[in-house]
Amino acid sequence: MSNAPLMPKATAVWLVDNTSLSFEQIADFCKMHRLEIRAIADGESAQGIKGMDPFTTGQLTREELEKAQNDPEHSLKLAQSKIKLPTAKRRGPRYTPLSKRQDRPNAIYWLVRSHPELKDAQIIRLVGTTKNTIEAIRSGQHWNSANLTPMDPVTLGLCTQIALDFEVGKAAKYLPKKPEGEEDATLMPASETQTLQPHQVDVPPVVKEEEVSADSVFANFPSSDKAGEDEGGDEEAK
């Protein structure tokens, strides 16, 4: 509906109840059919709809309304809004500064290696690239594959750590669960270990050190008296 007021049916309800405009004038202003306006006037349509005053919304001036009420042939015109609403920008591909574009293939290489669970659309959101580039790097057919070095996109400034964690966590939800016994071994959290009884905690056995005394150390060595006797015996033998 071009040049139609906001909430045309609610505006039509208010004009029917508060003005002496003809059905044709209201229908033309609200961009509705004349029979719809008649149904509103007869109570057969728009029941429960609260009328909207076009004066408070700045869509109609009192001078324009008086002119239309005095002249049944006059067509109401929307008042020019003094407030200009910003036009919605079309969302395009993520912009990457020229100084960082050369690092983008390295970031993609890091993502496909470190987080193979990420989908192409997620990588595109993170670093701003195309599916063809991702596939070329993943398959090793990129023109600069020999010189690519995996580099963290957060370190390169191509995305934030929060955005990366969000995408990785989102992709992890769709990963198949590992069968029992194949889960990665991880440390138990402190909240669980505190509730375990002493006999439930695997503690390595304590190996007692063997007590060593001075007598046992020198037991294998000859005493000084015996050594002297041996020397004396050797002299007599000579």
Q: Are 126 and 160 in contact (CB under 8 A)?
A: no
Least confident residue range of 22-36, 143-157, 198-212: 198-212
Q: Per residue in 42-73, pLDDT tens?
A: 888 877 888 888 888 888 888 988 888 898 88
**Mean pLDDT, residues 154-162:** 89
Distances (CA, A) of 134 to 56, 167, 214: 54, 16, 74
Q: Per residue in 79-117, pLDDT tens?
A: 876 655 555 555 555 555 655 667 899 999 999 999 999
Percent of the chain predicted with pLDDT > 90: 23
Give residue for tokens 């001078």. Answer: 63
Q: Which amino acid is at 191?
A: S
Percent of the chain predicted with pLDDT > 70: 64
Sketch the domain layout of the chain as residue ranges: 8-70, 98-172
Residue 158: which residues within 8 A CB-CB, separation 6 or more? 96, 100, 103, 104, 107, 126, 127, 128
